[in-house]
Structure 1
Amino acid sequence: MSKQEKLYKFYTYAKNEGLRKAVKKTRDYVAKQQQPIFQQPIDVMAAVEDIKRANYIDHPYAAPPKIGSKEKLKIGWVLSPLSPGSGGQNTICRFARYLQQQGHDVTFYLYEAIHPQSVAQAVDILRSSFHFDVKVKKIADYEESDALIATGWETAYPVFNVDTKAHKFYFVQDFEPLFYGLGSKAVLAENTYRMGFYGITAGRWLTKKVSEYGMAADYFNFGADMDIYRYKPEVKKQKKICFYARPVTERRAFELGVIALDIFHKKHPEYEIEFFGWDTGNYQIPFPYKNRGILSHEDVARLYHESEACLVLSLTNVSLLPLELLAAGCIPVMNEGENNSLVLGENDYIHYVPASPIQMAAELSKIVEKDDLTAYAQAASDSVANASWDASYAKVEAILRREVQGE
């Protein structure tokens, strides 16, 4: 637009709207033009340079020769910045702690593509939130290892790119492409299953899923901390049910659960409903409930011991909660699907239902209306009496030894 055209536009606007408005509009326009233009970065979780370097098609990863007999292994885990309360990182710490207790040399390597985190910050979180003392370094300071383990999908890219003689593994806890809509992140997550690492998966469903991409894998079973969750007959059940409420985690189907509980509440208004897993205070919940937020393991156990049933939903890999609930004598109601039953098995005390709010509510009602609920809770706990983590820890160590040493 020429200078004359701009002056004419100003004159016309001032004539119709008044000089004051015309001057203000002009000032606003000039101010807007002077503001720096914000350029949105390319956000794909992993560093773009790492993605560009990871040419698994032309230069696929090939496992090095087995190293033979060696009493203690040097094992590196690559993690994105530590986050207090992360369930996935807590599970990683469980297994890493066990390996450390067996005498293996364990190091955590930080990969900071998501956001920066100092080694000191990571160490503090590991100690305060996960009660774990372990060596922590930046991935740029990687030291030669016998085994190098990717964790979240974004960490698979730097693991692929590291020039090392280590055997490379992938600790897969969920089918992460489903965390996103169909787009770049989903595709990049899928591609990590084609990199050639040996998978160690949380349950059989994930072993099956990653095999669709040609990925070899073995699995470990879930367990429960019996010292924390074991059923306590002396803690009387109350007219209470609970809900694992994670509105920030799509795969936990928060909205389906709220609708189901609204139906349940109308039939059983005498029952208290407690939400846990996240602070839901900013959500409009159409029935009375107690917002417990994020709880300690001990407070979660107390909630389970007091509750008759729990609605716990998962649309991808099953969570750790169902076995903990059973151990505590709290009956889990879950959406049916291989992602749940293939991992947990057909336990008679897990109530699988279609992912329909009406049927979820009906199943909750069926449980709380039982005449023999105390005996039922005890039997549920007895059904998982041997579901400790010990066998799973030992199996993961055996997988590492087998693939690294040939034992």
Structure 2
Amino acid sequence: MIDKLINSYRNEGARATLRKICHKLKHTRQASGATPSKIDMSSIPIMPQLEDLMKADYIHHPYMRPEKLDKKLLNIAWVTPPVGPGGGGHTTISRFVRYLQSQGHRLTFYIYRNNTIPQSAKEAQDIFERSYNLNVPVKELEDFQDEDVVFATSWETAYAVFNLTGNHLHKFYFVQDFEPIFYGVGSRYKLAEATYKFGFYGITAGAWLPDKLKEYGMEADYFDFGADIDVYRPRTPILKKKKISFYARAHTERRGFELGVMALKIFKEKHPEYEIEFFGQDMSNYDIPFEFTDRGILNKQELADIYHESVACLVLSLTNVSLLPLELLVAGCVPVMNTGDNNTKVLGENEDIVYAEAYPVDLAAKLCEVVERQDINEHAEKMNQKYKGTSWEASYKKVEEIILREVTHG
């Protein structure tokens, strides 16, 4: 049992593991006929600490931005929930932390203990070093001090950041998705939504989110996505296999897993000669209605190998767009995606991305169109040439410029 939980945490992260624990406990109680005990508020996934919720009174005691600072190098803190290896959100945060550190700023992570799996600062630091190649101090939030700038990095950490005190502390919100819709319309939806009214300055992943945040009166600027060119650039000459891939994240609702599986079943019936590879999580416990290869959690080089061999990749994003499409374009693999302004506002009406309705029949039809092209290898080469300059450098610089513009004089 313990081994399974550790495996789940490594492959699927804290949120999915906690859901499994709650599900298991619920069914164990039902099977034993035990009388249900009273529900502990701290056991409801995912929530900030109750005292932080009660203390964060943005209505009667709003956060007021402090005066700008007369300095060029800043002490910048990031408040993060428990960290797991290979998480997309922490991967993006780590990119900017590494860049800001290289520019001479002092960076520190602070761990916020929401009610997911507990994690010490030492455990988090080990993961940052091992999985994200970061040499940055990680501290307990109780030890917070001497910072000029602090970033909330998720809705539950926003409550902790709101409650931090300091006459000259500038508070930012690093927004990578519209988190209220991670939940049904209920308490967590409303609590997540409220954080956009806290008065923090937002820096968002892509151009879709600032418009969403503006509805709550939140000021925000955004950075564009990039790709690691050196990793994903394909070998030449490009020779595609009869293979397509699927970014399969069954435990992440916004990745449309069920839609993807249904679409791929239709595709497989029309093109049985094509191999289908799943990646993104361990699929060994799932009963998939067609033959496929389960690749699980992969490192960047392993991902690049799949992209280079695949003609297309089905990657669904029902909230903010995934990081994958630009990586796929650099690698010469056609992204097949659901249409919607959450994707097109970030990536544009890109002729190299194949958009479909978020409906199995249309997704399957678009996959068929891609593999039925007569110029598959030539088209992959053209994509690679077009996107070989798509790096993260401009975004790194823009984020530093936003921070300095909002925090310092001159």
**TM-score, normalization: structure 2?**
0.89
Q: Any idea what SS the aligned residue of 2:41 has?
A: coil
**Which stretch shows the higher mean deviation, 393-402 or 110-119?**
110-119
Tell me, yes or no, if the aligned pair for 2:240 and 2:376 is still in contact at 8 Å.
no
Partner residue in 2 for 1:269: 272
**Inter-CA distance 41–374: structure 2 relative to 1 (3 Å threshold):** same
Q: Contact 2:75/2:105 (CA < 8 Å) preserved in 1?
A: yes
Once residues 48 and 253 of structure 1 are traced to their aligned partners in structure 2, the CA distance between those partners, rounded to angstroms, is 32
Match of 1:365 in 2: 368
CA–CA separation in structure 2 for the residues paired with 1:357 and 1:97: 40
Q: Identify which of 192, 195, 201 aligns with 1:189.
A: 192
- The answer on 1:126 being equivalent to 2:128 is yes
Deviation at 1:144, TM superposition (A): 2.2
State the 1:344 CA deviation: 0.9
Partner of 2:225: 222
Deviation per CA, 1:175-228: give whole Å up to 9, x if none.
000101111111110000000000000011001111110000000000000010
Secondary structure, aligned partner of 1:160: helix
Residues 238 and 380, structure 2, Cα contact 8 Å, conserved in 1: no
**How far apart in 2 are the matches of 1:284 and 1:116?**
32
- 1:239 corresponding residue in structure 2: 242
Q: Deviations over 1:283-311 (max 9, x none)?
A: 11111100111111100000000000000
Residue 307 (str. 1) matches residue 310 (str. 2): yes
Quote the residue 1:328 is aligned against. Answer: 331
SS of 2:388's equivalent in the other structure is coil
Inter-CA distance 313–36: structure 2 relative to 1 (3 Å threshold): closer
Alpha-carbon RMSD across the aligned residues, in angstroms, is 1.5
Could you tell me how far apart the structure 1 residues matched to 2:408 and 2:111 are?
Answer: 26
Q: Is 1:378 aligned to residue 381 of structure 2?
A: yes
Q: Deviations over 1:295-342 (max 9, x none)?
A: 111000000000000000010000000000000000000000000010
Q: Kindly state the Cα deviation for residue 117 of structure 1 after the two structures are TM-superposed.
A: 1.2
Aligned to 1:347: 350
Q: Check if 1:158 corresponds to 2:160.
A: yes
2:95 partner amino acid: R
Aligned partners of 1:62 and 1:342: how far apart in 2? 31
Task: Tell me which amino acid in the other structure corresponds to 1:73.
Answer: L
- Secondary structure of 2:76's counterpart equals strand
The answer to whether the 8 Å contact 2:238/2:377 transfers is no
Secondary structure in structure 2 of the residue aligned to 1:140: helix
Provide the rounded CA distance (Å) in 2 between the counterparts of 1:231 and 1:222: 20
Greater Cα offset, 107-116 or 331-340: 107-116
User: Aligned equivalents of 1:199 and 1:36: distance in 2?
Assistant: 42
Counterpart AA for 1:56: Y
Where do 5+ consecutive residues of structure 2 fail to align? 1-31
1:6-45 aligned at under 5 Å gives the runs 37=37, 39-42=39-42, 43=44, 44-45=46-47
CA distance in 2, matches of 1:116, 1:280: 26
Matches within 5 A, 1:36-115: 37=37, 39-42=39-42, 43=44, 44-68=46-70, 70-114=71-115, 115=117
Deviation string, structure 1 residues 16-52 (Cα, Å, up to 9, x no partner) = xxxxxxxxxxxxxxx989x894543342520111011
What is the alpha-carbon distance in structure 1 between the residues aligned to residue 295 and residue 120 of structure 2? 31
d(CA) in 2 for partners of 1:136 and 1:363? 46
Of all paired residues, the percent bearing the same amino acid is 56
Larger Rg: 1
Deviation of 1:235 (Å) = 5.0
Q: Is contact 2:78-2:152 (8 Å) kept?
A: yes
Residues matched between the structures, number = 375
Tell me how far apart the structure 2 counterparts of residues 152 and 36 of structure 1 sit (CA, whole Å).
Answer: 32
